[in-house]
Amino acid sequence: MKRRQSEISGKSWPFIWRSSIRERREKKAFLCFLLPSLIGTAFFTVIPFGDVVRRSFMTEVTGQFTGFSHYKTIFANQAFLLAVKNTLRFTLTGIPLLLICGFLIALLFSGSGKAQILKPLYLLPYALPAAVVVIVWKVIGYYLTGQEFLVLLLCYLWKNTGYTVILWLAGIKGIQKEILEAAMVDGAGSFQRVRYIILPGLKNVFFTIVILSFLNSFKIYREAYLTAGAYPDRSIYLLQHLFNNWFVNLEFSKMAAASVLLFLVLLSGIWLLQGRWKEKEE
């Protein structure tokens, strides 16, 4: 018996050695395929962001270290605070409306009725360039004088609802039909099926849409620029403010500090949303 065990253990060593060589080769191949992406991320994301952080603590001309003086100046800038206020207002208003509209349209498309014919019409705005979408809503804006926020919000919803519908619809299609049919047999109505079966099954989709919408709402620039112009009075948004002061007024150090603050806000928002989501799951 001992001899048999020793033979087996003796034969296992070459196999382990060969498998370790194979694993090392697979790891090297994996790193070789991953290396171009890592190099691109380092050169176009990590290194530029590090330079932005460095500039936020330096003077614009001499490059001397100034500490947090640029950050203090930004918080005292009324234009920056107004841009943050408008962006937060747009975010807190646009995300719920985007979630609700996308979910209702996805429910309409989840069946097999005549509503399927209208599916390309709802997805078409997402495929159109932003300039084309804004031109359409800018014409409508002529009849809504003084309602720049409403025009921008409607333009944003019309443009991005189609993408939200795709995500909601993918989640709804992932729910087993047998469960819905069993609920119908038990006498559950449409509202009860949505509340107790469909919505609980779309938690991960809901979290994904919230995160993506949160990031996109802070990146609103093209729509705001094309609807209100480069220098609006009261309807300026955060990226507009950064662009105007960075590339027009050439305030590189101050806007570098503002960019760092924007990054921290987005990172904190994602961290809070993820934390709340984990608490609900537990």
Q: Which tens digit of pLDDT belongs to each residue from 86-139?
A: 888 999 999 999 999 999 988 888 876 666 677 777 778 888 877 777 777 777
Quote the pLDDT of residue 92.
Answer: 92
Q: Which tens digit of pLDDT belongs to each residue from 38-52?
A: 888 888 888 888 888
Quote the pLDDT of residue 70.
Answer: 84
Quote the pLDDT of residue 146.
Answer: 65
Quote the pLDDT of residue 93.
Answer: 92
Quote the pLDDT of residue 181.
Answer: 80
Domain boundaries 71-281, CATH class: mainly alpha
Quote the pLDDT of residue 232.
Answer: 57
d(CA 21, CA 144): 69
* Structure-block tokens of residue 211: 């995160």
Q: Are 241 and 86 in contact (CB under 8 A)?
A: no
- In the chain, where are the structural domains located? 1-55, 71-281
Low-confidence ranges of the chain (pLDDT < 50): 1-11, 13, 15-16
Could you tell me which residues are beta bridge partners of residue 65?
58
Burial string for 139-162 (b: 16+ CB within 10 Å, else e) reads: eebeeeeeebbebbbbbbbbbbbb
Quote the pLDDT of residue 197.
Answer: 85
d(CA 90, CA 87): 5
Burial string for 69-108 (b: 16+ CB within 10 Å, else e) reads: ebbebbeeeeebebbbebbeebbebbbeebbebbbebbbb
CA dihedral 55, 60, 66, 69 (to 10 degrees): -90
> pTM for the full model?
0.75
